[in-house]
Amino acid sequence: MRLLIAALAILILAGTLAAPIVLRGGGSGEKACTRTLVYRGRRYVARQAPPTQLVQAIAIGVGLARGCDASPSNVDLRSLTGIKPTAAVGLAGDPSSVYVRRGLCSASSSRKLMRCLRASAFGS
């Protein structure tokens, strides 16, 4: 009887742990990866940006980056020309990514992202 209860408990636990993976579509073998960072209490999400449109400016501090099976780590951040750091920041040495504050310009394509971020500099 105890073995039956233990086996049932293991099945329930395994189902609970696997459910978020299946619901997010992560069980298909194709693994989605989202890099995020936290800077001054705000959460930012990595987005691709054309390197020709992304100009890093001055060093502004250190953020905590995580995601893509990497351990959380401190990273050097830079401001972006024409964009407030409350909207987006750049990672020193990475000219092809921009970290955008979560919920901001999320529907914008890569091509329109910089325009959206520059417009948000006037509104926030």
The 10s digit of each residue's pLDDT in 7-63 is: 556 656 555 555 444 444 445 555 578 899 999 999 999 998 877 778 899 999 999
Instruction: Record the tokens describing residue 72, joined without a space.
Output: 């959380």
**Which residue carries 């971020």 as its tokens?**
117
CB-CB contact of 18 with 12 (8 Å): no
Q: State residue 25's pLDDT score.
A: 45
The 10s digit of each residue's pLDDT in 77-103 is: 999 998 999 999 999 988 888 999 998
Q: State residue 94's pLDDT score.
A: 86
pLDDT above 50 for 68: yes
Instruction: Record the tokens describing residue 120, joined without a space.
Output: 């948000």
Q: State residue 11's pLDDT score.
A: 55
Q: State residue 21's pLDDT score.
A: 44
Q: Where are the domains of the chain?
A: 1-29, 36-123
Of 107 and 62, which is predicted with more confidence?
62
Cα dist from 8 to 18, 20, 56, 68, whole Å: 15, 20, 55, 33
pLDDT above 90 for 106: no
Provide the 8-state DSSP code for 27: G
The answer to whether the pTM exceeds 0.85 is: no
Q: State residue 98's pLDDT score.
A: 92
